[in-house]
Structure 1
Amino acid sequence: MKKDRFIPLRKTDLINACLQQGQLNEKDKNAFIDLCHILVSTLHFEYHQTLEILKDSYAPFDPNSDTLPVHSTSKDSLDNKQQVFAQTFAQVLNAANFEKVTEQDLQEALHEASLFKVRLEVEFEDFAEVVFYRRGEYQKTETLSKFWGLKKQQVSFTNYDKVAVYIKFKNAEYFASKKMKSTNFEPDSTIIKLFQNVPKADLEMLFPNSEVRMRTLDKAIIGGSALVGGTVVLVTKLGASLLLMAGIISYWIGLSDKAVTIGTQELIALCAGAGVIGGFIFKEWSKFKNRKLKFMKALADNLYFKNLDNNAGVFHHLIDAAEEEECKEAILAYYFLLTFKQPISSEQLDQQIEDWFTSRFDFEIDFEIEDALNKLLRFGIVNKQNNMYSAISIQAAQTQLDREWDDIFSSKVE
């Protein structure tokens, strides 16, 4: 399985792990902590601006907006905002080390058996655009019960720690042409959702228009029950009514010359038979509906504990995740360049960091070395010469980041 770019540590724990290497004296340790704080603050300001872009570009499409529109927006302006939002959202997800779920992965998920024993159908024609992103892919094993708990089965499956969903619905004309009304979504709206701990085989349950369908096994159980129950009803409760009806029908079609007189007793038998048949049909229909409701409850319960956030609320979660990942990448790259004492290539640095992470935490990552070095070069705290990289001193890096921080606000004033 492909290694994940996600660094599964908090910033504070990562900084402490670096300091525990013993490569820095006490004075430099404190200076390194201060440097990390300045670096975090700088990136935090940058991502705050990104958050504002997301909020502004998503506002016309937000189905949960509680603010009043001040002026109408033209179609061209809406299209531009949609494009800006989609691009910025994808950039934030990439910075947070999410991976786009490929069309092949999505199709495999739709055809794999669901782990919570519910078959779902999705009407993809309702969507103008569908994109799934995931982070933290690994193999997981769970024990499932079969045959009413009489048999236990261990199942291994691919699980995603986080899944972000981006879906844009088609316009109102499309749903009007289908004569379809829904209170669950607005035509032309864009919904954003974030989930946790999602099996790959159950990705279809994250679609907003997924509908529960009976599996072949469930239909067989209900059909078998109806067949056995119907046979018992016919034999025990409808014998007299069936004989009476057979006599009447035979006389009407000319198979019998014996007329059947329908008196009070015969009428009561026919009504009783009709009541038994009606009651049986209602009972079996109720079984079908109750089983479907049971599956819908299983789906709702499952989503209740997996849903993390919705629509504009997702931005804050993802912005925080992106900022966290960017900080951790920059801190790791700077620390290892600082302690290596001599210029090093990006490939060597990448391998050194990945090896350290594996030996220190017994966890393999695919470190984003180019992204980390580009940030450090942009901040001016790393030098590059002949494709070899070296870090400037902690004190010089503090001065440089202080200058970068001051320039942010001075440029705003100008």
Structure 2
Amino acid sequence: MSVSSAQESVSDSLLAEKAVDEPLVTPLAGFRFIPFRRSDLLQMLRSEARLGPAQERRFEGAVLAISENFRNDFHDSRQALKDLYADLDPDADTRQFPDSALPQDEAVKQLTERLAFLLNRANYEELSEGQLKKAFRSKSLFQIRLRVDLKDFGDVMLFCRGSSERTATVKLLFGLIKRQVRFLNYERVVLFLRFADRGAKTDSEFTPGRVMIKLFQNVPDADLEMLFPNTRVAMRWTDRLLIGIPALASGAIVATTKLGAPLLLLGALGGFWLGLHSEPVALDKRGLLVIGAGIAALGVYLWKQWSSYRNRKERFRQALTRDLYFKLLDNNAGVLLRVLDDAEDSECKEAFVALYFLLAEARALSAKELDSVIEDWFALRWYARLDFEIEDALKKLEYLALAEEHDGLWNVSVQTSTSVVDPS
């Protein structure tokens, strides 16, 4: 569970284990995302001061051409995505024009394909079904059992971007014991859900066919279940024991102090009615009061135990809700717009970096050599380990007539063209 200062307030005495300090973070290699803003990345490249005056002018002109190309490209994608999602959006406040609407299944199919393509351009990775099931089996950092019924959804997709392995100190047994745990943390997670029609079992808040899209930050892989709208909190055996043992002890006290006389009287009546003894038992007004008092005491005891169980579960839910408050970044159509912006930035950043180092090296390089130069620069200069998409970056530069390849070696184009086309 994330342990930033805002989220540390989530700590609850009822949580058997909870992170209590800032985690150690180890970035994982293999993710394509460049973790710097577009404007900052340009400043980082310029600060290298490895280009001569003519090369600097060429680079700055190419930056403008690259930015203009992707601005136009994503402007068209933005409207197409909005139109596809309009009739599936649970938050829509516009009326539907019948002649313009696609069949729902076709709209969902096109939306999922376009969204997956867009997220890939924004450097998100899709979690496989196996990875999702593994995460569901993992032990939650909240140390509670979370359950999700996937049958409520016709389609489920999870995408993540940015991953790090974190270490945090957690408490055991009300802080008496502390131990270190390691967990995989996703910086960004996009959740895509289409609600299924389950007939009478359909939740009243889940409109069949509607599509929900959520964007979250800082999500441990073991707590992916809490992102779903139908998450249920289940009590672990340790939590049940914490309630059950005191309940049994207090139950024994109630049985001996409050229920002794009523039980003896009821036992005598039962024995007489069953013929176990012949001596009649007088059930007078006092006897009825004794039995009534015993039943009332038993009812109060059972109600207190049920309330204790219910209140404990409710506090777990409140803790999850507070934590989720800090993780949620955007909903539905807003997610599409944010991801579009992220994808545009990612495409531009990859092209900027590849072009700069082709200019800075001032010689023809193979894709593998250029990839090594760029990844080493990020790792050694800026302490960022990533898997740079060199083939995709060079493809963009080639389509933009900013780079060319001969015999497996790449170099900047002899004549930079300002007429740009869609490189995707």
Q: 1:370 aligns with which of 391, 400, 409?
A: 391
Hey, what does 1:410 align to over in structure 2?
none
Hey, what does 2:16 align to over in structure 1?
none
Using the alignment, how far apart are the partners of 1:18 and 1:120 within structure 2? 46
Hey, what does 1:404 align to over in structure 2?
420
Hey, what does 1:108 align to over in structure 2?
134
Deviation of 1:195 after TM superposition, in Å, equals 0.7
| Contact 2:399 2:420 (8 Å CA) reproduced | no
Kindly indicate whether residue 274 of structure 2 is the aligned counterpart of residue 265 of structure 1. no
Deviation of 1:27 after TM superposition, in Å, equals 6.3
Deviation of 1:181 after TM superposition, in Å, equals 4.3
Deviation of 1:348 after TM superposition, in Å, equals 1.0
Kindly indicate whether residue 384 of structure 2 is the aligned counterpart of residue 358 of structure 1. no
Kindly indicate whether residue 306 of structure 2 is the aligned counterpart of residue 285 of structure 1. yes
Kindly indicate whether residue 146 of structure 2 is the aligned counterpart of residue 120 of structure 1. yes
Superimposed CA distance per residue, residues 360-412 of structure 1 (whole angstroms, 9 cap, x where no aligned partner): 1122110001110111111111122222211136xx53xx23x338x9xxxxx
Unmatched tracts of structure 2, length 5 or more: 1-27
Q: 1:10 aligns with which of 15, 18, 37?
A: 37
Deviation of 1:223 after TM superposition, in Å, equals 1.9
Using the alignment, how far apart are the partners of 2:348 and 2:31 within structure 1? 17
Deviation of 1:200 after TM superposition, in Å, equals 0.5
Hey, what does 2:413 align to over in structure 1?
392
| Contact 2:185 2:218 (8 Å CA) reproduced | yes
Hey, what does 2:204 align to over in structure 1?
183
Deviation of 1:80 after TM superposition, in Å, equals 2.6
Kindly indicate whether residue 67 of structure 2 is the aligned counterpart of residue 46 of structure 1. no
Report SS of the residue matched to 2:33.
coil
Amino acid at match of 2:98: H
| Contact 1:159 1:200 (8 Å CA) reproduced | yes
| Contact 2:152 2:202 (8 Å CA) reproduced | no
Hey, what does 1:412 align to over in structure 2?
none
| Contact 2:51 2:359 (8 Å CA) reproduced | no
Amino acid at match of 1:89: L
Hey, what does 2:91 align to over in structure 1?
64
Kindly indicate whether residue 118 of structure 2 is the aligned counterpart of residue 97 of structure 1. no
| Contact 1:141 1:156 (8 Å CA) reproduced | yes
Hey, what does 2:322 align to over in structure 1?
301
Q: 2:164 aligns with which of 129, 134, 138?
A: 138
Using the alignment, how far apart are the partners of 1:298 and 1:331 within structure 2? 43
Using the alignment, how far apart are the partners of 1:348 and 1:187 within structure 2? 51
Q: 1:77 aligns with which of 103, 107, 131?
A: 103
Using the alignment, how far apart are the partners of 2:309 and 2:377 within structure 1? 57
Q: TM-score, normalised by structure 1?
A: 0.91
Using the alignment, how far apart are the partners of 2:310 and 2:64 within structure 1? 58
| Contact 1:338 1:392 (8 Å CA) reproduced | no
Using the alignment, how far apart are the partners of 1:72 and 1:233 within structure 2? 71
Using the alignment, how far apart are the partners of 1:341 and 1:147 within structure 2? 63
| Contact 1:15 1:33 (8 Å CA) reproduced | no
Hey, what does 1:342 align to over in structure 2?
363
Using the alignment, how far apart are the partners of 1:370 and 1:32 within structure 2? 20
Superimposed CA distance per residue, residues 126-165 of structure 1 (whole angstroms, 9 cap, x where no aligned partner): 2221111111111111122221222222211111111111
Equivalence map 1:301-340=2 (5 Å) = 301-340=322-361
Hey, what does 2:271 align to over in structure 1?
250
Using the alignment, how far apart are the partners of 1:16 and 1:73 within structure 2? 46
Deviation of 1:118 after TM superposition, in Å, equals 2.2
Using the alignment, how far apart are the partners of 1:283 and 1:153 within structure 2? 34
Hey, what does 1:207 align to over in structure 2?
228
Hey, what does 2:188 align to over in structure 1?
162
Hey, what does 2:7 align to over in structure 1?
none
Q: How many residues align?
A: 395
Q: Which structure has greater helix proportion?
A: 1
Amino acid at match of 1:186: T
Using the alignment, how far apart are the partners of 2:108 and 2:156 within structure 1? 14
Superimposed CA distance per residue, residues 11-38 of structure 1 (whole angstroms, 9 cap, x where no aligned partner): 1221122122221245654653353233
Amino acid at match of 1:363: A
| Contact 1:129 1:167 (8 Å CA) reproduced | yes
Hey, what does 2:10 align to over in structure 1?
none
Amino acid at match of 1:163: V
